[in-house]
Chain A
């Protein structure tokens, strides 16, 4: 079952997998963001367009990448130091 632009839940294994490279990330009952690299990025590191300067910004970006192909899976806009948000918590198809 697809749960994201780049992520599926494998109905056989009940694991979350990358749709691009097939990397198995974690069990479907877990927050995938706890199992993928994340980088803290200041908004003004993104060139083009108006972004808040780092001495004034209230929020920063947390980028999450697939550990296999380093496709960017999410860009959270969060207060500095925030834990990963469990944004997708889909009941596995066999339990639904």
Chain B
């Protein structure tokens, strides 16, 4: 753990490019910060119209990206963002699938202007590309393209589009290489090249990218999709200027940011001052043995400001690390979705936040440290929990209290190889996008949403099974909500997904695993709820006679069935409980199974109404064992009815046990 004071840590901030001064940047003038701040405030009606129109433009452009891209991660997972920035790169309007890049993409605009603004210059029709994690995004898969908008010799805005593009030409397929020990192992990183110059596609630049990827087909689709989004937004932006005039559009961009800040500060003022602390963890770095990595989140709210102070150990050897933009982005997954969900997503609501990250820690790593899998996932969880605790202090916000969602990506499986159609490809299985969300309280949502979605990609959608089977060389044996995955509580977390796959129809299929959480319950619920079940180790059943089982019309329907198949056919089970480099699997014989942990709960499980527990048992969310021993609800397994008298006795017995075991902490004496 780093021992740095708050002042010694690095404050995340955004310094405008070129010193914020009025500078000629090729296609026109970049205004100074003073010029931009001196905008003439619009009437409420004009502001409402123009801010809404810009928001619509960003959303329409994002939809264009989603519809052009055929990549499952983008088209179905929704891992795509579109933003409108002011001339210096401060975000003004945002259409967000990927919440974690709410703040993180502005650094790309700054990089372009700082490096290329004066020479060779930035021109109308240029499209720049970046995927450098130390500048923006969190790993090389986060690929951004941006274009400037000039009007009568003045740079008035930037448009930007980001997708998660899986195949980066890293040392393993899929872009998130468990064996990476350097950023150099994680594939190509583009530093602002022009993929389009003055309206002309730069084929040489694009060939550099395509020839560095194992999956040029999906790669070029994503790139073209981002360019399509930029083109759509640019056209709409021109229409807006023609209709309302450039001065009003420029003012709206700035006023939107200021409005976001006003809303954010007002919300903070409505809450009590105080400090909330959360501990969160991951349980592996490299090697066969687990390693506990601990994060402290200290959130202090005073007046209309929020200070987030993080403690974390030094950089990991493996890929569980983050550069500052990525760590800040993961903080903003929680801020954007939990605290300021009703506020326009822009730089304005970032201004009241001061986030301090320890230098040379796994949340703020030195250059060339690998960062394929974000160390800051637990930070999202910690900030979410701290916000939920803070919301109790004002009744107006009780309905928004939300325990952390399932962390996701921690029991993920990637594949690479040849498709059944004969071309090279690789991607991630989409079950990560269908994990349990956190519970609320009585005045809010109550139970978490079962297989509700991925927190950092709120618009994500689990891929259709038939689509996955069409696009990739796998058949699904089962996919369903996992039993006892949700955190038990007065309000339980959402259940997460369980799935089983068999590779099929390809001569070459390899799998990689991002498994963490296999050695300890690394997540916490709120206010007396238990943590959710831990992430399952992924299991690979090898050498089964699956085809023989099919012939007898028996298809395994869960992990227990998979174990039975192995027992009957003499195969073996391989348990994968740490991240794993890609390894080949055998088609029609090997079965891969995984069960994600669930969303977090709220409150004491023995306060849950027996009828709700019964419904969960009937819906196969909760087992009879958990109902009896954790919820204290006695259910007849034959009739599926609650024995209320026995339930009352069981709950009293749980309280008696607590009286026997509970002791005041000795250190307090």
Contacts and interface: CB of A to CB of B under 8 A. Distances in A.
Are A and B a genuine interacting pair, yes or no?
yes
A75 B530 contact: yes
A77 B527 contact: no
A4 B520 contact: no
A75 B605 CA distance: 11
Contacts of B521: 43, 51-52, 57, 59, 61, 77
A74 B597 CA distance: 20
B528 A96 contact: no
Q: Which of B272, B490, B602 has the most CB of A within 10 A?
A: B272
B603 A75 contact: no
Contact of B273 (A49, A51, A96): A96
A74 B665 contact: no
Contacts of A93: 272
Interface residues of A, number: 53
A45 to B, nearest CB: 9
A84 interface: yes
Shortest 7 CB-CB distances between A and B: which pairs?
A37-B662, A48-B626, A49-B533, A49-B484, A90-B274, A5-B527, A72-B528
Contacts of B154: none
Contact of A79 (B276, B292, B526, B663): B292
B420 interface: no
A4 B276 CA distance: 11
Interface stretch (B91-99, B347-355, B388-396, B641-649): B388-396
B534 interface: yes
Contact of B528 (A59, A71, A78, A79): A71
A2 B392 contact: yes
Contacts of B535: 50
Contacts, number: 182
Nearest to A33: B665
A2 B520 CA distance: 32
B274 A89 contact: yes
Interface in B488-502: 488, 490
A12 interface: no
B279 A38 contact: no
Contact of B531 (A39, A65, A75): A75
Contact of B522 (A4, A59, A90, A91): A59
B240 interface: no
Contacts of A73: 527-528, 604
Q: Which of A48, A77, A86, A90 has the most CB of B within 10 A?
A: A48
A87 B533 contact: no
Given A38-B663, A49-B534, A87-B276, 12 more contacts: A3-B392, A34-B664, A37-B661, A47-B625, A58-B520, A64-B662, A70-B655, A70-B659, A71-B607, A72-B658, A84-B668, A93-B272
Contact of A77 (B274, B523, B655): B523
Interface in B597-643: 597, 602-607, 622-623, 625-626, 629-630
